Amino acid sequence: MPDETQIIRRGHGTPVLIVEDIATEAFTLRKVLERADYQVTLATTGQEALRLLAMREFRLVITDIDMPGMNGYEMCLAIKESLRTRTIPVILLTTLSSPANILQGLKCKADYYLTKPYTPSLLLARVQTLLERPPTPPDADAEPIPVMLEGQEHHVTAGRRQLVNIILSTYECAVQQNRELIATQAELNHRNEQLREQQDQLRIANEQLQALATTDGLTGLKNHRTFKERLDDEFHRATRYHLPLSLILLDVDRFKAFNDAHGHPAGDEVLKRVAKHLTESTRSTDFVARYGGEEFAMLLPFTHQQAALALAER
């Protein structure tokens, strides 16, 4: 695709007529052409454009298709059927690119199709190409061509140059749409990846929040509230199914004196070591929690009193 910087300011004041009823679209198109040194005149309807063409000389017409009153196809056909204007190249701007639209472009003898949104560089390149060719009536080498569309045969009279231009513009429109589709898919993939990352971060944050709500921050054991919930569950299960259940409550002897003598960091280290020892001494079915301060609780499902006493002695 030509670089816009290579073709900018090559209009040399060439008069170009823009036919566009949407003000923002007309402003954008006019700005692109005037930057390239084209002399731009704007019409907002097909009828106004034909009146301007009857009074003034224009080298090129760029028109939207969907306009009130006379549409772009009808205006283009009127231009091509007039002896005064038939050699003026016409570029159709459209958001449509179906076979029916292309067939309409052939019937109205348009020189080129450009699908919105277009790139300024492609537009300027096509304008330059059409202006550089010698003026030729649209039917100078025209031949009737049978075209099948949706099961019906249409007969279109088109010259070789027009056919080449329409085929080229159709191909370029397809390439542009494919690029837009690829870009859209890439953006969608990027957004999906961002969404997955955010979901992962949310899941991790929820897990961390859940851990903070149920776990003692110092020892890593379950906290007092979680212990009470688990005790209720295990007690109800043991009662319902007549299962043995034991509970051991223990604390660290003379812990306050140790803390006062050696400081809180040393006391915290003692609590962490006790927690580690208790965890390593129990089964996966047992439940160990920090009950509070230097107190710990061990909940032992399926465990009789004698086995619990033996574990407590260890």
Residue 277, domain extent: 224-313
Looking at 187, 216, 244, which one is the last position of a domain? 187
- 233, two tokens: 């569950």
Give the pairing type, strands 90-94 and 60-64: parallel
Do 146 and 242 lie in a common domain? no
The amino acid at residue 164 is V
Rounded to 5 degrees, φ, ψ at 17 are -105, 125
Compute the chain's Rg from CA coordinates: 41
* pLDDT tens digits along 201-247: 888 888 888 877 899 989 999 999 999 999 999 999 999 999 999 99
- Residue 39 bridge partners (DSSP): 15
pLDDT in tens, 241-277: 999 999 999 999 999 999 889 999 999 999 999 999 9
Q: How many helices (H) and strands (E) does the chain have?
A: 11, 10
Same domain for 160 and 22: yes
84's CB contacts (< 8 A; 6+ apart) are 53, 54
Query: Which residue numbers in the chain have pLDDT < 70?
Result: 1-9, 96-103, 105-106, 137-180
286 and 168 assigned to the same domain: no
Q: Is the Cβ–Cβ distance between 161 and 43 less than 8 Å?
A: no
Length reported for the chain = 314
State whether 35 and 181 are in the same domain.
Answer: yes
Tell whether 176 and 228 lie within a shared domain.
no
Fill in the amino acid letter for 40.
Answer: V
pTM of structure = 0.50
